Amino acid sequence: MLIRKITIKNFLTLYGEQTIHLPAAAGQSTAVILGPNNSGKSSFVKALQFLLHQRLPGCKEETAWLLINNRHRDETGVKTEAVASVTAILTFGDSEMEVRRSIRSRRTGTGEESFSDAAISFARLQTTATGSRFVEDDGTVQRRLDILCPDTLLEAFFFSGEPLDGKLLRGVNQVRESLEEYLSIRQWRDAAEAARELRAVYAREMQQLAQKNRELDTVLRDEAQLQHQIDEKRKAKVKAESSMSEQQEALDQRQSAILGIANQTQMRTDVEERGRLELQLKQHEQSLEAAKGEICEEVGRSAGYPFLLPFVGRARKILGQLHKDGILPAELAPDFVKRVLGMEACICGEKHTTKTRAAWHKYLDKALADDVSTKLKTLESRVNESAPNCLQRNVTEIAKLLIDARERAEAAVVGKHMLDGTIEAISERIRQSPIEELRRLEMERKKLAATVENTKDAITTLTKELNNLDLAKKRKKEERAKMKISPDVERRVKELERFQTTADSLAELIDNSIGALRRQFHKNLQEAMTDMYDEHVTDGTMATILTTLLPTIMQGGRRVMNLGGGQSQLLGLAYITSIARLRNALHAGMKGLGIRLGVVGEQAFVLDCPFSGMEQHYIEAAVKGLCSAAKQTVFLLHGSQWLAAKRLLEPAANMAWGMHLHAPKAVIAKLKPEDRTYFFRGENVILATESRASGEAVYSELKPLKGA
Amino acid sequence: MAAVHVPAVLEPILPFVRKSQGKKPNACFDSYAQLVVFAAALGFHELDGDPPPKNPHRTSQIEPVAWEYLQGDRQQTVIQLIGLVAGGGTEIVNDHDSLCRVIEDLAAVGGKQLVKTLKDGGDASFHLELGELLINAAKESKASAVTI
């Protein structure tokens, strides 16, 4: 939406009827309006806001008379009306319309505040064969303006000087909602929903037809069920694709930030040192664990050997006695003795006598079982100090191993403790450094990469499921085609089916297109921001669009957390011109898809002192960017901003106007020289004049500058 | 079949057997057999070779340890030595059942010492405390033929 002509009559500080024509033709894009402080530049912006959305603080009917110019109010006689209005010719592509918003208030007395409640009206110029006249708007024009320039973005397009943080960037949700509105995405959704509803209507009619034929009824019900499932899966897929797009973007951001930080080697030494120490710490921990494990193992394996040492002597003595008693070594097993006693003859061949039997019985009493004998022999070797595997040696080995493991464990604990302190100190240093940020980003990147992969898998699964459902639906249709139904019903069913298919395709097309356009929107926005910001700023910073669609600035791969006034302002300017430029491209895309939302055309920007708080190089970047990116930009500048932007803006301006301030001597005296006299294309222009009569109200007039 | 019944007093120590449910990370004993023999050796040391009091309390948490599970070289050395010294001859070692009773009675005595050690030092350092007990026993004994 461009502004070809604007007429402001008795509005705020602008006295009388002020008309200016703005550059809206091909090859023309820039206008400057110069004027001292308090000359009415802000009134100009407010006039536009009032015209488009009646959006001014004092715009209630009971106080709206305050918007009428003071001087005009003073001149209004009792019982006559004071009138203020803003009229503009707005163009959208090839079409245009003229609209006017007026305030009328009757003077009821002689005092300053003797004005009645104002009447505010909004009208559109209608041309008929008999002539042209303004006709009260029935809401149609206002709705169109709301779409062309949403209320929430109004301050972005027609704004007054302060940084944009508090306006455009004030809230992620608000910006996103505004943009969705601006791009008409909500209307798309409505269209998709309407298409689905239409299909449901057709489905219901088919159902009614089918009631006469039970078989058909079943098939149709199955088809409806399948269709419902397809709809659900399709929605889920669109959602997953949109979500993946955002995840991928977040992933790219992390990747880019990581690359930026990775090049900063300041803390690399610390990280390497910490890595080395952590390795040592790990070795200590492993050593400690190993030592503890060895102790555990040895304790169990020891069988309590060391506890037996005091009894080794006694065991040896007992074993010695057993030898003396002939019990050891046990040469004959008790079973053998029993067998000998059971026989008639002794082993010598002679018959058993009482004496031999007594001797064998005595032996049997002391004889050891086979296994006991073997075990005692083993025990003998264990208690024999000179034997290589004796218990004493074993105990010594056990004790040495335990002592060694204990010492290693103690050393590891001491080493670990010392390293813990050093590592903590280095970690603290690293925490203060970008490397820690790098680590955090890397972790986030890994998580996001996993999420993206999962979402990809989910999309693949959904696609497969959708294909299967489509196939199932196709089979049902084939089944239905084979049924015998009356020709009338068959004809109507086919007709309804065709309608359904059309509605279904439209819904699908819109679902897919919203997702695709959202992704395209982000991509294009980034490209436009790069053109507008990166190309014109020389401080090494770069503009980046976040997943939330908010712009931010990156420096050396890191996000700049505290934007300077200049950066913020330039970023905002770049952003709003980018989205406006992009909108046309998107709407062209919609048109290509067969969705018509009306012509939107280019977007005008009216910027009141936009260079507040900006350094010279940012100002020049903003001027270059705006003049090349925007189709129509109106700069309203006071003296010092004009001086700062003059070098680039003077040759670029296609039209130039001066806002001539008439004020008492005291007011004029306070103005700086550069705010009174402007130098434009070789001419000195004085834009501040003392009032002729004392007590005359302050007012301004717009006049074209010589040389423009 | 002869078997050693695990004394009830050893119940707090059972988690230090690796095959037990809810075993501790610093479990030292491969089997209940290993634990019982260790406790018996400790008990024998505590009593300085005197006969142990009869232990009527046996745990119902685990099955008795069958004689065949006590056949490890070191385990048998400990069991035979205890049986020989406690009986003053072959009377006990020649009878597996008697030998099992002596072992479980001694394990009950050693078990009390183990539980005290556990209570004093806590779960986490129990293995270290047992290591200390073994080292001290090895150092104290004059019978040790090899200097540590």
Q: What is this model's ipTM?
A: 0.94
B33 and A CB contact within 8 Å: no
Contact A295 B127 (CB under 8 A): yes
A290 and B CB contact within 8 Å: no
A395 and B CB contact within 8 Å: yes
Q: Where are the alpha helices (DSSP H) in A126-213?
A: 140-148, 154-157, 172-182, 185-210
Q: What is the dihedral of CA A181, A185, A187, A192, to 10 degrees?
A: -160
The predicted structure's pLDDT at residue A174 = 57
A363 and B CB contact within 8 Å: no
Q: Among the ranges A336-340, A402-406, A556-560, which has the highest mean pLDDT value?
A: A402-406
The whole-number average pLDDT for the span A544-562 is 71
Best mutation target among A289, A292, A308, A327 (most B Cβ atoms within 10 Å) is A308
Best mutation target among B19, B78, B102 (most A Cβ atoms within 10 Å) is B78
The whole-number average pLDDT for the span A505-529 is 70
Q: What is the CA radius of gyration of chain A?
A: 48
Cβ-in-10-Å burial (0-12, 13-18, 19+) of A391 comes to: buried
Place of tokens 């068959």: A490
Amino acid at A520: Q
Contact B28 A300 (CB under 8 A): yes
Q: Which is more confidently placed, A239 or A365?
A: A239
Q: How far is CA B49 from CA A160, A307, A665, B44, B86, in A?
A: 102, 11, 122, 5, 6
For residue A400, list chain B residues with Cβ-Cβ distance below 8 A: 148
Residue among B136, B134, B139, B148 nearest B28 (CA)? B134
Q: Which residue among B40, B137, B146 places its CB closest to the CB of A392? A: B146
Q: How far is CA B73 from CA A302, A372, B68, B140, in A?
A: 11, 13, 12, 24
The whole-number average pLDDT for the span A17-38 is 85
**How much is the mean pLDDT over chain A?**
80
Q: Compute the nearest-CA separation of B83 from chain A (Å).
A: 10
For residue A318, list chain B residues with Cβ-Cβ distance below 8 A: 84-85, 88-89
Contact B148 A402 (CB under 8 A): no
A322 and B CB contact within 8 Å: yes
CA angle A675, A619, A679 (to 5 degrees): 30
pLDDT single digits (tens) A575-627: 777 666 666 665 665 565 555 555 556 777 788 887 777 778 778 888 887 77
Query: Token pair of A344, please?
Result: 């008639």
User: CA–CA separation, A376 vs A385, rounded Å?
Assistant: 16
A322 in Cβ contact with A376 (< 8 Å): yes
Q: Confidence band (pLDDT; 50, 70, 90) for A184? A: low
A298 and B CB contact within 8 Å: yes
User: CA–CA separation, A46 vs A17, rounded Å?
Assistant: 16
Q: Compute the nearest-CA separation of A433 from chain B (Å).
A: 38
Q: Which is more confidently placed, A339 or A157?
A: A339
Is pLDDT at B37 greater than 50 in this prediction?
yes
A312 and B CB contact within 8 Å: yes
Cβ neighbors of A222 (< 8 A, separation 6 or more) are: A476
For residue A288, list chain B residues with Cβ-Cβ distance below 8 A: none
Q: Which residue among B48, B74, B131 places its CB closest to the CB of A402? A: B131
A587 in Cβ contact with A600 (< 8 Å): yes
The whole-number average pLDDT for the span A308-318 is 90
A436 in Cβ contact with A430 (< 8 Å): yes
Contact B73 A390 (CB under 8 A): no
For residue B131, list chain A residues with Cβ-Cβ distance below 8 A: 295, 298-299, 402, 405-406
Contact B134 A304 (CB under 8 A): yes
Contact A303 B75 (CB under 8 A): yes
Question: Which B residues, 52 through 71, put their C-beta within 8 Å of a C-beta on chain A?
Answer: none
pLDDT single digits (tens) A651-675: 888 899 999 998 888 888 888 888 8
Q: Which residue among B42, B82, B143 places its CB closest to the CB of A309? A: B143
Is pLDDT at A524 greater than 90 in this prediction?
no
Q: Confidence band (pLDDT; 50, 70, 90) for A557? A: low
Contact B37 A303 (CB under 8 A): yes
The predicted structure's pLDDT at residue A163 = 41
Contact A392 B143 (CB under 8 A): yes
Q: Confidence band (pLDDT; 50, 70, 90) for A165? A: very low
Best mutation target among A307, A366, A370, A402 (most B Cβ atoms within 10 Å) is A307
Q: Compute the nearest-CA separation of A386 from chain B (Å).
A: 9
The predicted structure's pLDDT at residue A155 = 65
pLDDT single digits (tens) B10-26: 999 999 999 888 899 99
User: CA–CA separation, A432 vs A271, rounded Å?
Assistant: 12
Say which range, A345-349, A407-411, B61-65, has the weakest mean pLDDT. Answer: A345-349
Q: Is B95 helix (H, G, I), strand (E, B) or coil?
A: coil
User: CA–CA separation, B103 vs B52, rounded Å?
Assistant: 9
B148 and A CB contact within 8 Å: yes
A323 and B CB contact within 8 Å: no
The percentage of chain A sitting over the pLDDT mark of 70, rounded to a whole number, equals 78
Contact B134 A405 (CB under 8 A): no
Is pLDDT at A365 greater than 90 in this prediction?
no
Question: Which A residues, 402 through 461, put their C-beta within 8 Å of a C-beta on chain B?
Answer: 402-403, 405-406, 409
Residue among B32, B5, B71 nearest A300 (CA)? B32
Cβ neighbors of A218 (< 8 A, separation 6 or more) are: none
Amino acid at A130: T
Q: Is A92 helix (H, G, I), strand (E, B) or coil?
A: strand
Contact B135 A305 (CB under 8 A): no
The predicted structure's pLDDT at residue A181 = 66
Q: Compute the nearest-CA separation of A322 from chain B (Å).
A: 8
User: CA–CA separation, A21 vs A88, rounded Å?
Assistant: 10
Best mutation target among B74, B79, B96, B139 (most A Cβ atoms within 10 Å) is B74
The predicted structure's pLDDT at residue A403 = 93
Residue among B59, B44, B58, B68 nearest A310 (CA)? B44
Q: Which residue among A296, A302, A366 places its CB closest to the CB of B134? A: A302
Residue among A511, A462, A449, A463 nearest A247 (CA)? A449
Contact A308 B88 (CB under 8 A): no
For residue A404, list chain B residues with Cβ-Cβ distance below 8 A: none
Contact B81 A379 (CB under 8 A): yes
Is pLDDT at A321 greater than 60 in this prediction?
yes
Q: Which residue among B73, B88, B145 places its CB closest to the CB of A392? A: B145
Contact B27 A391 (CB under 8 A): no
Contact B48 A392 (CB under 8 A): no
The whole-number average pLDDT for the span B137-147 is 64
A554 in Cβ contact with A544 (< 8 Å): yes
Contact B127 A310 (CB under 8 A): no
User: CA–CA separation, B109 vs B114, rounded Å?
Assistant: 9
Is pLDDT at A697 greater than 80 in this prediction?
no
Q: Confidence band (pLDDT; 50, 70, 90) for B5? A: very high
B93 and A CB contact within 8 Å: yes
Pairs of residues, one from chain A and one from chain B, whose beta carbons lie less than 8 Å apart: 173
A118 in Cβ contact with A82 (< 8 Å): no
Q: How far is CA B102 from CA A325, A535, B10, in A?
A: 25, 95, 16
The predicted structure's pLDDT at residue B143 = 47
Contact B90 A322 (CB under 8 A): yes
For residue B27, list chain A residues with Cβ-Cβ distance below 8 A: 296
Q: Confidence band (pLDDT; 50, 70, 90) for A98? A: very high
User: CA–CA separation, A330 vs A482, rounded Å?
Assistant: 101
Residue among A490, A520, A653 nearest A22 (CA)? A653
The predicted structure's pLDDT at residue B38 = 96
Contact B45 A307 (CB under 8 A): yes
A313 and B CB contact within 8 Å: yes
A327 in Cβ contact with A368 (< 8 Å): yes
B143 and A CB contact within 8 Å: yes
